[in-house]
Amino acid sequence: MEHDITIKQVTTGKAKPDYNHLSFGKYFTDHMFVMDYNEEDGWFDARITPYEPLLMDPSSLMFHYGQSVFEGLKAYTSQKGGIQLFRPEKNFNRMNISSDRMNIPEVDPDFLVDALKQLLHIDRDWIPVEERQSLYIRPFIIATEPALSVKPASQYKLMIILSPVGSYYAQSDQMSPVSIYVEDEYVRSVKGLVGFTKTAGNYAASLKVQQKAEDLGYDQVLWLDAIEKKYIEEVGSMNIFFKINGEIITPALNGSILDGITRDSVIELLRYWGWNVHERRISIDEVKQAHTDGVLEEVFGTGTAAVISPVGRLKWKDEELVINDNQTGPVSYDLYDTITGIQTGATDDILGWTVPLQEQET
């Protein structure tokens, strides 16, 4: 797939928000990338335009049947100078995996990495320079065909929008453990459904339970499998890891959880460091038993937003397991430090994960 990207820039950029008070995904840069699809032309009209509202027919299939996929990744100002991305090809490959399940036509990942670089270049002065700040990148595809029949759309729109984001943690140099509520009534997905994809409907279905967790005083939800209500799946937008008796365990990719890119990076890094990492089924009972036995040493979530999110408290039925005295453990800390270090150029990119944004002419 080869496309020319036409570029239409704003004449005057928007005022930038206060970078010390960025909430997640609230402010958007001056430009966006857009590309359309129809059956005749395939993907066409790749363009960078001012960030602006879309005109959507009320019957657009997305509004009714939710056919869509999305991704989330970040661009960082490197301490060595320049801008860099973290494993962007993984995101665009995963987008195709999601698209395949959702009947959406695939897109050449290399082309999208290139389009993204061009977009970033144009909006480069939006990319935060402060440590722990970054530019969040949201590629997504929606079904735009105006029609009410339940069928794969014949028209789509792919967009990439950009949003400067602050540190996930209030004090940027300190990770604060989160509290997690283990849900045992509602479920997130099941084998044979679309849990392994990043599609809109997965997230809509989770809102009620996220609210329930917050009402009960917990930060996030840990999902169990839908069939036995026993095996650990993942958190709202994180995969989860357990350090038990000196070994690391994370749920295997089973068709219902997301193949997280941070999860993959953590596994690779831990193995590089010499840890035993097991990708397998792990039940909530096993976690509880480990806690009782005093060998549940660390629990942490992994995801693009927080990178590493130590879990300090785990609520399961009537019990609350406090982990590592509700403090960030050493493995969580080392992972966070190393991965964010690689992302921001403070640490050597020992595993070849970063992709620099080449300087180019506008």
Least Å distance, CB 67 to its own copies, is 4
**Stretch binding its own copies (CB under 8 A), from 78-86, 134-142, 172-180, 290-298:** 134-142
Query: CA-to-CA distance for 287 and 28, rounded, in angstroms?
Result: 41
At 97, which amino acid appears?
I
CA neighbor of 233 nearest in space, from 206, 218, 251, 209: 251
In DSSP terms, which residues pair with 300 in a beta bridge?
241, 310
Interaction residues for its own copies, span 236-295 (CB under 8 A): 236-237
Out of ligand PLP, its own copies, none, what residue 118 binds, judged by CB under 5 to 8 A for its kind, is none
Site string for ligand PLP, 223-242 (x = CB under 6 A): -----------x--xxx---
By CB under 8 A, tell whether 80 contacts its own copies.
no
Task: Specify the DSSP element, H or E, that contains 37.
Answer: strand 31-38
By CB under 8 A, tell whether 216 contacts its own copies.
no
By CB under 8 A, tell whether 63 contacts its own copies.
yes
Site string for ligand PLP, 272-311 (x = CB under 6 A): ------------------------------xxx-------
Answer yes or no: are the C-beta atoms of 90 and 110 closer than 8 Å.
no
Among 85, 175, 200, 222, contact with its own copies (rule: CB under 8 A): 200
CA neighbor of 76 nearest in space, from 124, 139, 122: 124
178-182/220-224 β-pairing: parallel
Closer Cβ to its own copies, 243 or 263, answer by number:
263
Burial class (CB in 10 A: 0-12, 13-18, 19+), 71: buried
CA neighbor of 167 nearest in space, from 26, 335, 305: 305
Answer yes or no: are the C-beta atoms of 218 and 180 closer than 8 Å.
yes
Per the structure block, which two tokens stand in for 351?
């595993």
Q: Considering CB under 6 A, how many residues would be counted as binding ligand PLP? A: 13
Least Å distance, CB 189 to its own copies, is 7
Closer Cβ to its own copies, 167 or 328, answer by number:
167
**Stretch binding ligand PLP (CB under 6 A), from 74-82, 106-114, 254-262, 311-319:** 254-262
Among 111, 186, 275, 333, contact with its own copies (rule: CB under 8 A): 186
Residue 346 CB neighbours (<10 A): 14
Angle at 237 between CA 20 and CA 48, to 5 degrees: 65
Answer yes or no: are the C-beta atoms of 357 and 76 closer than 8 Å.
no
Site string for ligand PLP, 100-139 (x = CB under 6 A): ----------------------------------------
Query: CA-to-CA distance for 353 and 337, rounded, in angstroms?
Result: 15
At 159, which amino acid appears?
M
Q: Which residues contact 118 (CB under 8 A, 6 or more apart)?
A: 5, 7, 33, 48, 360
Out of ligand PLP, its own copies, none, what residue 119 binds, judged by CB under 5 to 8 A for its kind, is none
Among 72, 201, 341, 356, contact with ligand PLP (rule: CB under 6 A): 72
Interacting residues toward ligand PLP by CB under 6 A: 72, 234, 237-239, 258, 260-263, 302-304
Interacting residues toward its own copies by CB under 8 A: 23-26, 28, 32, 51, 53-59, 62-68, 70, 101-103, 136, 138, 140, 142, 147-152, 159, 161, 163, 185-194, 199-208, 210-211, 226-227, 236-237
